[in-house]
């Protein structure tokens, strides 16, 4: 067998012939080689410490001991090195603030609202430390990217342009401090305004300050605080929450009118079924004749026709809304556990016999009886017997 090298190079690192191993380790190594083991623990015959060995690569590695030189406390980076780190990451701190951060004037405590806890400003070292947001690492200073990234990825395509730009802008804003979970940041795109981001609701709060006022506050700190009465002017960015709320009221408003008429593109949500997309046309039609339908349907006579572009007119279906007649204990939403959703206007369905179509809010996780769930981007989905789940998008 080839020679081995002790991995503890700083105080042993000796080369030796495997035959020098203890009898036990040597036998172990022989069988490990036969089995092509890539992980085993044996002992150096010289320093007697354990180490890992990979018989395929014939390579020893540290196991439980590390170079004491390396574990010496991390040398704090110099300002120059930190500036290089930021530069490499294309993060640009406004020059006056960078100067302030590196000056003796730097005071980490900043009062933004006179009747609230002070905010803490990060120093330059802290700004360059990595922080985990939503599973990914960001520099503390650019952590707002982390808060907007998921949002943009999930619903970015559905956002109106102005909102999309708002998120994009927020992503590039520079975090400078915090108070509890609130994030204090500078908006470079808006004259270095200082604002507060609330990660728990996605709100943006105005402070009425600009970056310069933090830098120069030594002189005028008290006046500024008193001027900051603008905290009630919370500006809501249309984050997920807002979107849900607004589309909810949209659905609520529409339930009175015709929620269904229109054209829809249908795409399959079954992973292994990439069926061609189809277009459905739903149109309001004459109410059902109460004499010609079963009594249980009399509570809701509204009817629509549903035509598939593929099937043509001969496959026109008459559809009705899910029965929801509490007085007579008829509730078609109950079997899915959607009664409350329907009552609050967040779930409306029509029934075509062998299929049904429902509307909820866009970007919603829909649950069937709390067990099965799926995500609908458009908020309109359908279930066809023998076919499965489809997503619909209203195009007209
Ligand atoms: Zn050794």
Rounded distance from Cα 230 to ligand 1 centre (Å): 67
Task: Single out the residue in 70, 90, 120 at which a domain terminates.
Answer: 70
Task: Give the pLDDT confidence of 62-77 residue by residue, as tens digits.
Answer: 887 877 776 555 567 8
Residue 249 lies in a domain: no
Relative orientation angle of helices 240-256 and 144-155, to the nearest 10 degrees:
30
- Find the farthest-apart pair of alpha carbons in the chain and give their distance in angstroms, rounded: 99
Using CA atoms, how far apart are residues 10 and 166, in angstroms rounded to an integer?
54
Residue 210 lies in a domain: yes
* φ, ψ at 379 (rounded to 5°): 90, -5
Using CA atoms, how far apart are residues 2 and 327, in angstroms rounded to an integer?
87
The protein residues having their C-beta less than 5 angstroms from ligand 1 (an ion) are 6, 12, 44, 46-47
Are 108 and 224 found together in one domain? Answer: yes
Question: Where does residue 388 rank: exposed (0-12), middle (13-18), buried (19+ CB within 10 A)?
Answer: middle
Alpha helices in 208-313 (DSSP H): 211-215, 217-227, 240-256
Are 39 and 113 found together in one domain? Answer: no
How is residue 238 written in tokens? 């249309």
User: Concatenated DSSP letters for 266-279?
Assistant: EEE--TT--PPPEE
Dihedral, CA of residue 17, residue 21, residue 26 and residue 30, to nearest 10: -30
Q: 3-state DSSP call for residue 234?
A: coil
Residue 325 lies in a domain: yes
Residue 246 lies in a domain: no
Residue 28 lies in a domain: yes
Are 84 and 226 found together in one domain? Answer: yes
pLDDT at 135: 76
Which residues, 6 or more positions from 230, have their beta carbon under 8 angstroms from its beta carbon? 206, 207, 208
Using CA atoms, how far apart are residues 144 and 171, in angstroms rounded to an integer?
5
Rounded distance from Cα 211 to ligand 1 centre (Å): 57
Range of the domain at 193: 79-238
Rounded distance from Cα 31 to ligand 1 centre (Å): 22
Residue 244 lies in a domain: no
Radius of gyration of the chain (CA): 32
Q: 3-state DSSP call for residue 131?
A: strand
* φ, ψ at 380 (rounded to 5°): -115, 125
Are 184 and 268 found together in one domain? Answer: no
Are 282 and 198 found together in one domain? Answer: no
Question: pLDDT digit of tens for each residue in the chain (396 aa)?
Answer: 899 999 998 889 999 999 999 998 999 999 889 988 888 889 999 999 989 899 999 999 888 787 777 655 556 788 888 999 899 889 999 999 999 999 888 888 888 888 888 899 999 999 999 888 877 889 999 999 988 887 777 766 777 777 777 778 889 899 999 998 899 999 988 888 999 998 877 778 889 888 888 888 654 333 333 333 333 223 222 233 333 333 333 344 444 458 899 898 887 765 555 555 678 889 999 888 888 887 777 888 999 998 887 777 666 788 999 988 888 888 888 877 889 999 988 999 998 877 789 999 988 888 876 666 778 889 998 876 655 677 888 887
Are 215 and 192 found together in one domain? Answer: yes
Residue 264 lies in a domain: yes
Using CA atoms, how far apart are residues 237 and 242, in angstroms rounded to an integer?
8
Using CA atoms, how far apart are residues 244 and 252, in angstroms rounded to an integer?
12
Are 258 and 386 found together in one domain? Answer: yes
pLDDT at 227: 35
pLDDT at 71: 56
Rounded distance from Cα 15 to ligand 1 centre (Å): 8
Are 64 and 89 found together in one domain? Answer: no
How many domains does the structure of the chain reveal?
3
Task: Single out the residue in 70, 94, 121 at which a domain terminates.
Answer: 70
Are 374 and 299 found together in one domain? Answer: yes
Rounded distance from Cα 340 to ligand 1 centre (Å): 69
Using CA atoms, how far apart are residues 50 and 48, in angstroms rounded to an integer?
7
User: Concatenated DSSP letters for 132-190?
Assistant: EETTEEEEGGGTHHHHHHHHHHHHGGGS-HHHHHHHHHHHTPEEEEEETTEEEEEETTT
Residue among 39, 42, 40 at smallest CA distance from 18: 42
Rounded distance from Cα 46 to ligand 1 centre (Å): 5
Using CA atoms, how far apart are residues 172 and 185, in angstroms rounded to an integer?
10
pLDDT at 141: 95
Cβ contact 303:290 at 8 Å = no
Rounded distance from Cα 5 to ligand 1 centre (Å): 8
Rounded distance from Cα 34 to ligand 1 centre (Å): 24
Are 203 and 83 found together in one domain? Answer: yes
pLDDT at 236: 28
Rounded distance from Cα 57 to ligand 1 centre (Å): 19
DSSP state for residue 335 in the 8-state scheme: G
Cβ contact 144:171 at 8 Å = yes
Task: Single out the residue in 43, 70, 97 at which a domain terminates.
Answer: 70
Residue 23 lies in a domain: yes
Are 178 and 206 found together in one domain? Answer: yes
Rounded distance from Cα 35 to ligand 1 centre (Å): 25
Which residues, 6 or more positions from 340, have their beta carbon under 8 angstroms from its beta carbon? none
Q: How far apart are the first and last CA of the chain?
A: 76
Whole-number average pLDDT of the chain: 80
Are 18 and 113 found together in one domain? Answer: no
Using CA atoms, how far apart are residues 156 and 163, in angstroms rounded to an integer?
9
């Amino acid at each position: 067998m080839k020679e081995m090298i002790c991995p503890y190079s700083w105080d042993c690192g000796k080369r030796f012939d495997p035959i020098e191993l203890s009898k036990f380790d040597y036998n172990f190594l022989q069988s490990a080689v036969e089995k092509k083991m890539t992980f085993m623990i044996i002992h150096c015959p010289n320093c007697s410490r354990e180490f890992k060995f990979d018989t395929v690569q014939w390579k020893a590695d540290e196991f439980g001991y590390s170079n004491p030189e390396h574990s010496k406390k991390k040398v704090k980076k110099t300002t120059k090195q930190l500036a290089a780190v930021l530069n490499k990451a294309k993060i640009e701190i406004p020059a006056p603030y960078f100067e302030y951060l590196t000056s003796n004037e730097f005071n980490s405590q900043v009062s933004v609202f006179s009747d609230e806890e002070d905010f803490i400003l990060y120093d330059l070292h802290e700004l360059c430390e990595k922080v985990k947001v939503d599973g990914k690492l960001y520099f503390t200073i650019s952590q707002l990217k982390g808060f907007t990234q998921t949002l943009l990825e999930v619903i970015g395509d559905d956002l109106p342009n102005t909102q999309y730009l708002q998120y994009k802008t927020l992503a590039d804003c520079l975090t400078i401090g915090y108070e509890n979970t609130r994030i204090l940041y500078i908006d470079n795109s808006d004259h270095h305004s200082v604002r507060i981001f609330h990660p728990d609701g996605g709100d943006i709060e105005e402070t009425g300050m600009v970056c310069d006022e933090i830098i120069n506050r030594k002189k005028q700190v008290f006046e500024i605080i008193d001027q900051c009465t603008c905290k009630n002017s919370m500006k809501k960015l249309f984050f997920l929450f807002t979107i849900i709320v607004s589309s909810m009221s949209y659905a609520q408003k529409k339930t009175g009118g015709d929620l269904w008429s229109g054209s829809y593109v249908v795409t399959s949500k079954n992973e292994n079924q990439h069926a061609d997309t189809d277009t459905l046309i739903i149109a309001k039609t004459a109410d059902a004749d109460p004499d010609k339908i079963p009594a249980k349907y009399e509570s809701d006579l509204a009817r629509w026709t549903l035509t598939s572009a593929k099937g043509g007119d001969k496959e026109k279906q008459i559809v009705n809304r899910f029965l929801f007649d509490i007085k007579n204990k008829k509730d078609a939403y109950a079997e899915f556990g959607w009664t409350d959703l329907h009552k609050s206007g967040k779930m409306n369905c029509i029934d075509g016999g062998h299929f049904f179509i429902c509307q909820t809010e866009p970007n919603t996780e829909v649950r069937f009886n709390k067990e099965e769930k799926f995500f609908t981007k458009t908020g309109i989905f359908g279930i066809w017997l023998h076919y499965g789940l489809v997503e619909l998008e209203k195009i007209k």
